[in-house]
Amino acid sequence: MRALVTGGAGFLGSHLCEALLNRGDSVVCADDLSTGRLENVAAFQEHPRFTFLRADVSHSLRVRGPVDLVAHLASPASPPDYHRLPLETLAVGSRGTENALELAAEKGARFVLASTSEVYGDPTVHPQAESYWGNVSSIGPRSVYDEAKRFAEAISMAYARSLGVNVGIVRIFNTFGPRMRAEDGRVVSSFIAQALNGDPLTIYGDGQQTRSFCYVDDLVRGIVAMTDSSETGPINLGNPVERTVQELAELVLELTGSGSPIEFHQLPKDDPTRRRPDISLAETLLGWHPQVSTEEGLHHTVEYFRAHRREVSAAARSIAGAQFEGTPSKVAWRDAPAMAKLA
């Protein structure tokens, strides 16, 4: 099989490229390196079945020769990244997805869209099943990402219905692992970098909001299962074990043996209160279930960050307040109860 992975030099994309190469596929990785890095694909740059194409897929997307699969992962994904790149995020979710679908239509390829749990917004239904339509602000700061992905789902379904493109949509819940950028501002990479650097761990709000964290190897297995199936979805992919952000901070401190303090910062606007995937569909239709516990995944990720200490030291101090346009109002540990009211 010859696969095109857009966003293939990013965190998830590079693992997907690797998984496809490892099973014998040829891979074309298209990436503009806006939030990805060449280092992520450096290990297979010389691979005879790997091609890197530097391209902004919102602008145009052309690939010579046959393509059997288009896996469309290109998009900023970390909140600080999409706050920094709002127009680019909207463009890649809309025009970028259209270009990727056009290519899939032209080549007769299977098309798999990396959608997101953000389509559920700040959910009023818990856990989130695919039948839930979501609670999303169309004008808030997160809307550039959430609505772009909702549009991406809509246009994918329109191509499936009107042009018969073989579309599959996965809704990915928070995923972490090696090759995340230490400074990308997402909670797992931030907490690990801060812990290893001895800097305070920055909890936003009172830390009682929840997420469910999936290890990258599991997630990529799920994406590959979707590419191999003819399911349209959308299908949730994520680890259903739910934790508070405070529990995650404590776990990272324990796993790293760090003596870093915890600081509470203002909660970003529209930050979802709780999130946990219902993965019944993935279990039934794809035979997929996560196998790596969050603890084990964190252990591998800590090891990766330990091996990239220079990057971690450079990054950690710039992380605090990365979600905010202005300077965050910092609240000390002892003021946690007051912070709960503020949040």
Measured from the CB of residue 114, what is the shortest distance to ligand NAD in angstroms? 4
| Own/partner pairs, 339-343, CB within 8 angstroms, 24+ separation | 339/205, 339/206, 339/264, 340/205, 340/206, 340/208, 342/266, 342/267, 343/205, 343/206, 343/266, 343/267
Measured from the CB of residue 184, what is the shortest distance to ligand NAD in angstroms? 7
Q: In which element (H, E) is residue 162 found?
A: helix 143-163
Kindly state whether residue 238 participates in binding ligand UDP, applying the rule CB under 6 A: no
DSSP state letter for 268:
P
146/231 with CB nearer ligand UDP: 146
Catalytic-residue membership of 145? yes
Measured from the CB of residue 243, what is the shortest distance to ligand UDP in angstroms? 10
Measured from the CB of residue 264, what is the shortest distance to ligand UDP in angstroms? 9
Binding to ligand NAD, residues 31-50 (CB under 6 A): 31-36
H-assigned helices in 200-291: 216-228, 245-256, 280-281
Give me the 107-136 binding string for ligand NAD, x by CB under 6 A, dash otherwise: -------x-x--------------------
Binding to ligand UDP, residues 175-204 (CB under 6 A): 186-187, 190, 202-204
Nearest to 249 by CA among 210, 191, 199, 306: 191
Dist CA 284 CA 281 (whole Å):
5
Q: Are the beta carbons of 171 and 212 closer than 8 angstroms?
A: no
Phi, psi at 65, each rounded to 5° = 85, 180
Q: From residue 317, how far is each of 195, 207, 261, 298 by CA, in Å? A: 11, 20, 14, 21
101/245 with CB nearer ligand UDP: 245
Active-site option among 120, 145, 204, 215: 145
Dist CA 91 CA 80 (whole Å):
17
> Which listed residue (8, 76, 127, 268) binds ligand UDP by CB under 6 A?
268
Cβ-based neighbours of 42, under 8 Å, separated by 6 or more: none
Nearest to 152 by CA among 120, 175, 108, 119: 119
> Which listed residue (26, 99, 143, 175) binds ligand NAD by CB under 6 A?
175
Q: Are the beta carbons of 149 and 115 closer than 8 angstroms?
A: yes
Q: Which of ligand NAD, ligand UDP, none has residue 73 at its interface (CB below 5 to 8 Å by kind)?
A: ligand NAD
Binding to ligand UDP, residues 47-86 (CB under 6 A): 79
93/205 with CB nearer ligand NAD: 93
Kindly state whether residue 128 participates in binding ligand UDP, applying the rule CB under 6 A: no
User: Contact positions toward ligand UDP, by CB under 6 A?
Assistant: 79, 174, 186-187, 190, 202-204, 209, 211, 245, 268, 271
User: Contact positions toward ligand NAD, by CB under 6 A?
Assistant: 6-7, 9-13, 30-36, 56-58, 73-77, 81, 92, 96, 114, 116, 172, 174-175
Active site residues: 145
